[in-house]
């Protein structure tokens, strides 16, 4: 397998895993508070990451890596999960797709600022068109939202794009799963304390869907997805491979159709076709 295929394949697998994050979060915050959900998922993932680091005898990161790991932790361990969990108390999962469509563009911008990448000018055309397609599709198919929820989602996207770009840059030296594992461990004391402070008053009222949602975002969204995602970004370029995120909303809707038997509109198929073309164009000119 050549480097490009490996990079885009890893990135695509990461996106598929991430596609279930917002629906799972939406289900979980029905019974868990956003603060507990954010902290609990980080604690569970950190403990799993610690086991892997120990078993595979990974060396400690260097002092110069600590700032970058702190940025990763702020962006993808704390910022994005917490802000989206808060936002999803005000807006629907469908409406949040509007903002997820802007994530590839944010990642590409931070890839330039933090990763030193220089995509060609036409790349930005494909990236902007793809973002506009996703946002337009979501706006036509969402149930609306509130200003509070929308501002929280904008902040979440900015922090997540920064965390993706910083983590991908660091992954070139440390490895993808090592970066997210060390970032999780760096956050563990604070997140464990927050989890204890926000424990549910009663466990009896928490349903199985909420537990499954917590399990998914802890194991897959917070750890496993990053193993493939950071590997793809590090090998294939932050700006280019990052455009695969444009497909994330459509994977989520497709999963809803297959698993929940929700109807799949022709507009979804048409929008997906446009997005695929934009991803292909961005891949070529990144």
pLDDT digits (tens, 9 = 90+) for 222-251: 999 999 999 998 888 888 888 888 888 778
What value does the mean pLDDT take over residues 166-191?
92
pLDDT at residue 191, rounded to an integer: 94
Residue 95: domain span: 3-285
Q: What is the mean pLDDT of residues 22-46?
A: 90
What was the pLDDT predicted at 170? 92
Q: What does pTM read for this prediction?
A: 0.83
Residue 252, pLDDT > 80, answer: no
Residue 278 has pLDDT above 80, yes or no: no
What is the band of 262 on the pLDDT scale with cuts at 50, 70, 90? Answer: low
pLDDT band at 19 (very low <50, low <70, confident <90, very high): confident
Mean pLDDT on 244-259: 74
Q: What is the pLDDT of residue 257?
A: 66
Mean pLDDT for 187-192 is 94
- Cα–Cα distance between 27 and 218 in angstroms, integer? 14
pLDDT at residue 210, rounded to an integer: 93
Q: How many domains does the chain have?
A: 1
Q: Is the pLDDT of residue 256 over 70?
A: no
Most confident residue range from 5-14, 130-139, 149-158, 191-200: 191-200
């Amino acid at each position: 397998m050549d480097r490009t295929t490996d990079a885009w394949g890893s990135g695509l697998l990461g996106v598929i895993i991430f596609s279930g994050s917002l629906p799972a979060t939406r289900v979980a915050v029905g019974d868990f508070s956003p603060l507990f959900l954010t902290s609990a998922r980080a604690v569970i993932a950190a403990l799993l990451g610690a086991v892997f680091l120990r078993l595979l005898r990974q060396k400690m990161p260097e002092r110069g890596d600590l700032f970058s790991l702190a940025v990763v932790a702020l962006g993808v361990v704390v910022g994005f999960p917490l802000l989206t969990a808060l936002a999803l108390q005000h807006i629907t999962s469908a409406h949040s797709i509007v903002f997820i469509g802007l994530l590839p563009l944010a990642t590409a911008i931070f890839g330039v600022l933090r990763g030193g990448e220089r995509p060609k000018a036409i790349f930005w055309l494909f990236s902007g068109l793809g973002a506009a397609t996703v946002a337009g599709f979501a706006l036509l198919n969402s149930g609306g939202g509130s200003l509070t929820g929308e501002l929280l989602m904008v902040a979440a996207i900015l922090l997540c794009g920064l965390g993706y770009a910083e983590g991908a840059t660091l992954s070139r030296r440390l490895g993808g799963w090592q970066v997210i594992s060390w970032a999780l461990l760096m956050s563990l004391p604070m997140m464990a304390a927050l989890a204890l402070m926000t424990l549910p008053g009663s466990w009896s009222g928490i349903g199985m869907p909420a537990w499954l949602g917590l399990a998914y975002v802890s194991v897959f969204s917070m750890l496993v997805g990053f193993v493939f995602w950071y590997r793809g970004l590090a090998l294939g370029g932050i700006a280019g491979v990052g455009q695969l995120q444009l497909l994330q909303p459509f994977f989520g809707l497709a999963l809803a159709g297959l698993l929940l038997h929700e109807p799949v509109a022709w507009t979804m198929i048409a929008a997906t076709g446009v997005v695929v073309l934009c991803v292909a164009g961005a891949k070529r000119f990144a």
